[in-house]
């Protein structure tokens, strides 16, 4: 049996491939950024063929660079940006429209209509989600509405829908397998998370033919085979990126929680075999499908996390490297009264305001670039703190610690400020690529590389623990002003709050 697991980590701004050995050491890593399209204000698209070509390129590159033979690769695991929607022609394998990205707000009016039609409570109770343009269902409808003849072809099964995992699986297997896993299905706003099947009421409301939907399977099994240099390698693990990170952080028990600091921020808490309905603006979602059952999670989603640092780098030209944000944030003793609310595409949990827009408040003549950079850094931590408070209110369980991962978790200023504003320890693991690691774990469990979750738990190791060191009065004042700033950003684009 092969000694290595190949994880394909298809993210919002880049495609990556990471090769792990059975001791979870990273043997090789390759990454390639791809194009972001913004056709109109609030719209975000990707070229699905570029997603595929970039992912295939880094997969082959990491094999070549590492010198590992494809025969020694036990399995491939896939993890992906969730909710992003791709429709393609079954015969040609070509997308019929650019992928509509999870951040895209173009379907807000479709969501408003669903609510007006009285389907808001049905969506919450069946899918565990809050009606929002974030999810895939309304994106599918939009493409079917705007591409001539697409809906008729979809009814005949000639047009296929997939989230990015389905698209990659279909391409890797040469069109042999059209499937998704329960975690990705639970993000479409079309899936009954208790019955574990597509919901006909929502399919009918959005006029989405069932024939175009992928088969829903567990997160850890052999779905099909990819050809790597003539060797058939099983594709054996699949999960949306945040659920994969939860698994990679070994949050296997109810109450375990992690936050991923990526383009967005995603806080997930394992709630076990029973879904926990949120009263505080969080999502109920499927954490993992494994061993014939599913575990559920509560999730809070921040749309713009690390992306606010990219914005300062690329659009504002405040610095040339994202890592420089940490340096500049520490050049001033505090934020100078400046708060940046990065609601560039609306606000996620716990506000769910599709019409909020970004705001910088508290500017004075003495405000410097460093104050704005620090305010951007702090905005990430404030948004996560809002999620933690909501999660504690829903579960009645105080969080004892937060496991942190993702690119921005490298930022020591941000991690310390997060511990300070939460008044909780923040623990960062030795392996920070926990999203890819989760996909590798799932693939390895299905192919016998690891025996069970207990064996995996022993592999997790802590790199750094950040301990809170902020006066309670200071913490309270900062959060109060943050909430005042959020209030200024809400409803800006003309919708009702």
383 assigned binding-site residue: no
105 assigned binding-site residue: no
Token representation of residue 108: 């807000």
pLDDT of residue 303: 86
192 assigned binding-site residue: no
157 assigned binding-site residue: no
From the DSSP assignment, how many helices (H) and strands (E) are in the chain? 16, 23
Res 385 pLDDT > 70: yes
CB 222 within 8 A of CB 447: yes
Phi, psi of 38 (to 5 degrees): -125, 75
Instruction: Report, as an integer, the average pLDDT of 103-124.
Output: 94
Q: Count CB neighbours of 174 within 10 A.
A: 12
Give the Cα separation of 159 and 403 in Å (integer): 40
Give the Cα separation of 301 and 297 in Å (integer): 12
pLDDT per residue as tens digits for the range 276-290: 888 888 999 999 999
Identify the CATH assignment for 4-217 out of 2.170.150.20, 3.30.300.30, 3.40.50.150, 3.30.420.40: 3.30.420.40
Give the Cα separation of 135 and 83 in Å (integer): 5
Instruction: Report, as an integer, the average pLDDT of 114-121.
Output: 95
pLDDT of residue 2: 67
- Reported confidence tier of residue 24, pLDDT bands at 50, 70, 90: confident
Strands 401-405 and 425-429 turn out to be parallel
CATH 3.30.420.40 placement within the chain: 4-217, 250-496
- Reported confidence tier of residue 208, pLDDT bands at 50, 70, 90: very high
13 assigned binding-site residue: yes
Average pLDDT in the chain: 93
134 assigned binding-site residue: yes
pLDDT of residue 231: 94
Res 413 pLDDT > 50: yes
pLDDT of residue 1: 54
CATH 3.30.465.10 fits 250-496, yes or no: no
- Reported confidence tier of residue 497, pLDDT bands at 50, 70, 90: very low
230 assigned binding-site residue: no
Mean pLDDT check: name the lowest of 138-147, 200-209, 398-407. Answer: 398-407
Q: First-to-last CA distance in the chain?
A: 57
Classify residue 197 by its DSSP letter.
E
Strands 293-302 and 283-290 turn out to be antiparallel
- Reported confidence tier of residue 263, pLDDT bands at 50, 70, 90: confident
DSSP reduced 3-state for 260: strand
Mean pLDDT check: name the lowest of 41-45, 88-92, 376-380. Answer: 41-45
313 assigned binding-site residue: no
pLDDT per residue as tens digits for the range 143-172: 999 999 999 999 999 999 999 999 999 999
Give the Cα separation of 75 and 88 in Å (integer): 26
Instruction: Report, as an integer, the average pLDDT of 373-380.
Output: 97
CB 46 within 8 A of CB 36: yes
323 assigned binding-site residue: no
121 assigned binding-site residue: no
24 assigned binding-site residue: no
pTM for the structure as a whole? 0.86
Q: Residue with structure tokens 């399919």?
A: 203
35 assigned binding-site residue: no
Phi, psi of 99 (to 5 degrees): -65, 135
242 assigned binding-site residue: yes
User: 3-state DSSP helix/strand/coil percent for the chain, to nearest 5?
Assistant: 35, 25, 40
pLDDT of residue 374: 97
Res 49 pLDDT > 50: yes
């Amino acid at each position: 049996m092969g000694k290595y697991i190949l994880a394909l980590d298809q993210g919002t701004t880049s495609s990556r491939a990471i090769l792990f050995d059975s001791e979870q050491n990273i043997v090789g890593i390759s990454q390639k950024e791809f194009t972001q399209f913004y056709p109109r204000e609030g719209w975000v698209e990707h070229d699905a063929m570029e997603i595929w070509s970039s992912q295939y390129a880094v997969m082959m590159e990491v094999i070549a660079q590492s010198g590992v033979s494809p025969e020694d690769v036990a399995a491939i695991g896939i993890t992906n940006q969730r909710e992003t929607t791709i429709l393609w022609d079954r015969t040609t394998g070509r997308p019929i429209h650019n992928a509509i990205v999870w951040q895209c707000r173009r379907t807000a009016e479709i969501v408003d209509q669903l609510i007006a039609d009285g389907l808001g409570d049905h969506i919450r109770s069946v899918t565990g989600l809050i009606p929002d343009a974030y999810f895939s269902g309304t994106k599918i409808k939009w493409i079917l509405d705007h591409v001539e003849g697409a809906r008729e072809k979809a009814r005949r099964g000639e047009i296929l829908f997939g989230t990015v995992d389905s698209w990659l699986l279909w391409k890797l297997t040469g069109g042999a397998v059209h499937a998704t896993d329960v975690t990705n299905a639970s993000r479409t706003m079309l899936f009954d998370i208790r019955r574990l099947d597509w919901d006909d009421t929502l399919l009918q409301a959005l006029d989405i033919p069932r024939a175009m939907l992928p088969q829903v399977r567990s997160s850890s099994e052999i779905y099909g085979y990819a050809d790597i240099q003539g060797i058939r390698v099983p594709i054996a693990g699949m999960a949306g990126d945040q659920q994969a990170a939860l698994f990679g952080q070994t949050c296997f028990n109810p109450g375990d929680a992690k936050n991923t600091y990526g383009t967005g921020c995603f806080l997930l808490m394992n709630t076990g075999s029973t879904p926990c309905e949120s009263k505080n603006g969080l999502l109920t979602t499927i954490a993992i499908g494994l061993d014939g059952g599913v575990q559920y999670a509560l999730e809070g989603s921040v749309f713009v996390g690390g992306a606010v640092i990219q914005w300062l780098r690329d659009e504002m030209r405040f610095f040339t490297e994202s890592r420089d944000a940490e340096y500049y944030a520490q050049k001033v003793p505090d934020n100078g009264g400046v708060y940046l609310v990065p609601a560039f595409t609306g606000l996620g949990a716990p506000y769910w305001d599709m019409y909020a827009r970004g705001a910088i408040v508290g500017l004075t003549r003495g405000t410097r670039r460093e104050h704005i950079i620090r305010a951007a850094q702090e905005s990430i931590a404030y948004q996560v703190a809002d999620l933690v408070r909501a999660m504690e209110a829903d579960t009645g369980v105080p969080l004892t610690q937060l496991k942190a991962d993702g690119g921005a978790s490298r930022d020591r200023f941000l991690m310390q400020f997060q511990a300070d504003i939460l008044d909780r320890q923040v623990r960062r693991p030795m392996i920070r690529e926990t999203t890819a690691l989760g996909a590798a774990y799932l693939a390895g469990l299905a192919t016998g590389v690891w025996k069970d979750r207990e064996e995996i738990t022993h592999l997790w190791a802590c790199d750094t623990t950040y301990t809170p060191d902020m006066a309670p009065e200071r913490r309270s004042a900062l959060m109060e002003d943050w909430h005042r700033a959020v209030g200024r950003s809400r409803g800006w684009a003309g919708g009702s709050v």
